[in-house]
Amino acid sequence: MLANFAEVVERGSRDEALLAQVDWTRLPRHVAVIMDGNGRWAARRGQPRIAGHRAGVEAVRASVDTGARLGLGALTLYAFSTENWKRPRLEVDALMRMLKRYLRLELEEINRQDIRFQPIGRTDALQESVRRELQRAIERTERNTGMVLSVALNYGGRAEIVDAARAAVRALVAEGSAPDGITEEDIGRNLYTCGLPELDLLVRTSGELRISNFMLWQAAYSEIYVTETLWPDFRRADLLEAIVDYQRRDRRFGGLQLVANAK
């Protein structure tokens, strides 16, 4: 598996040292990242917030590449929340433009790495030009069988649970069953993340200790890793560090026995 990194990791580098610490038999199946701190990164340099978002694209590239080379089942990136519409119009527009540009520039590389692209969230409410680009990426990669790259756009954990509950109730009404019949599986089956592996590791950058409406359902027993690193500075080594830290945790899921988080 280390061979996957041979062409991109230098001998003697921190990346190489961290890779040597990774237990390949106990990788997290699904890693989700709250990509935070772009604005502060820019402010520290006396630049506009948008410059921070632009710099954040390199961190996205590094994380996607690392996740794919590790062979993660899924990598979910929180890119735009249902609350981020509160930001100035100029910033929202810039984020959408950058998303389109990222997809146009990276789609072939994503496809080459056998990654399947899947946006999650209330994407119907996004601009038409954004939806078109998303659709193109979905279709181009739909037959790929490697890592799923799920990008959360106009995503809210509460909205997701509401959407899942509505779908579950609709199915119940259609079959004439009573509401008490709804189970956790019914909700889980209707979440945007249905079909993705369990969320093992939730990473947040920039030191904030909150989950900001992300993966509310899925994070029930996820391990949480917070780093002070601001998103634009996040690189391969930072993701590997999160994974090595995750592999040191004791996971008990409410019981008394350790549960091996085997892949």
Q: Which stretch binds ligand IPE (CB under 6 A): 31-39, 98-106, 191-199, 221-229?
A: 31-39
Catalytic residue among 4, 23, 38, 84: 84
Binders in 216-245 for ligand IPE, by CB under 6 A: 231
Interacting residues of 243 by C-beta distance below 8 A, sequence separation 6+: 22, 27, 28, 31, 70, 201
Q: How far is the CB of 14 from Mg ion (least distance, A)?
A: 26
Q: How far is the CB of 63 from Mg ion (least distance, A)?
A: 17
Q: Which is nearer to Mg ion, 41 or 117 (CB)?
A: 41
Question: How many helices and strands (H and E) does the chain possess?
Answer: 8, 6
Any idea what the Cα angle at residue 217 is, between residues 128 and 182, rounded to 5°? Answer: 100
Residues belonging to the chain: 263
Q: Is 124 a catalytic residue?
A: no
Catalytic residue among 36, 65, 200, 238: 36
Yes or no: say if 231 and 41 are a contact pair by the CB < 8 Å rule.
yes
Instruction: Tokens for 221, please give them.
Output: 């027993």
Instruction: Tokens for 125, please give them.
Output: 């409410």
Number of residues interacting with ligand IPE: please give it, by CB under 6 A.
18
Q: How far apart are CA 128 and CA 225, in angstroms?
A: 35
Q: Which is nearer to ligand IPE, 84 or 111 (CB)?
A: 84
By CB under 6 A, name the one of 16, 47, 58, 84 that touches ligand IPE. 84
Q: Which is nearer to Mg ion, 68 or 230 (CB)?
A: 230
Residue 36 in the binding site for Mg ion (CB under 5 A): yes
3-state secondary structure of 178: coil
Instruction: Tokens for 205, please give them.
Output: 């950058």
Q: Which is nearer to ligand IPE, 104 or 210 (CB)?
A: 210
Instruction: Tokens for 16, please give them.
Output: 């190489």
Q: Which is nearer to Mg ion, 38 or 222 (CB)?
A: 38
Yes or no: say if 159 and 124 are a contact pair by the CB < 8 Å rule.
no
DSSP letter string, 134-188: HHHHHHHHTT--S-EEEEEEEE-HHHHHHHHHHHHHHHHHHTT--GGG--HHHHH
Residue 39 in the binding site for ligand IPE (CB under 6 A): yes
Side-chain half-sphere CA neighbours of 76 within 13 A? 31
Residue 229 in the binding site for Mg ion (CB under 5 A): no
Q: Which of 75, 82, 83, 94 is nearest to 33 (CA)?
A: 75
Window 175-214: contact mask with ligand IPE (x via CB under 6 A): -------------------------------x-x-x-x--
Q: Is 84 a catalytic residue?
A: yes
**Which partner in ligand IPE, Mg ion, none is near 193 (CB below 5 to 8 A by kind)?**
none
* Catalytic center residues: 36, 84
Footprint on this chain of Mg ion (rule: CB under 5 A):
36
Footprint on this chain of ligand IPE (rule: CB under 6 A):
34-40, 78-81, 84, 95, 206, 208, 210, 212, 231
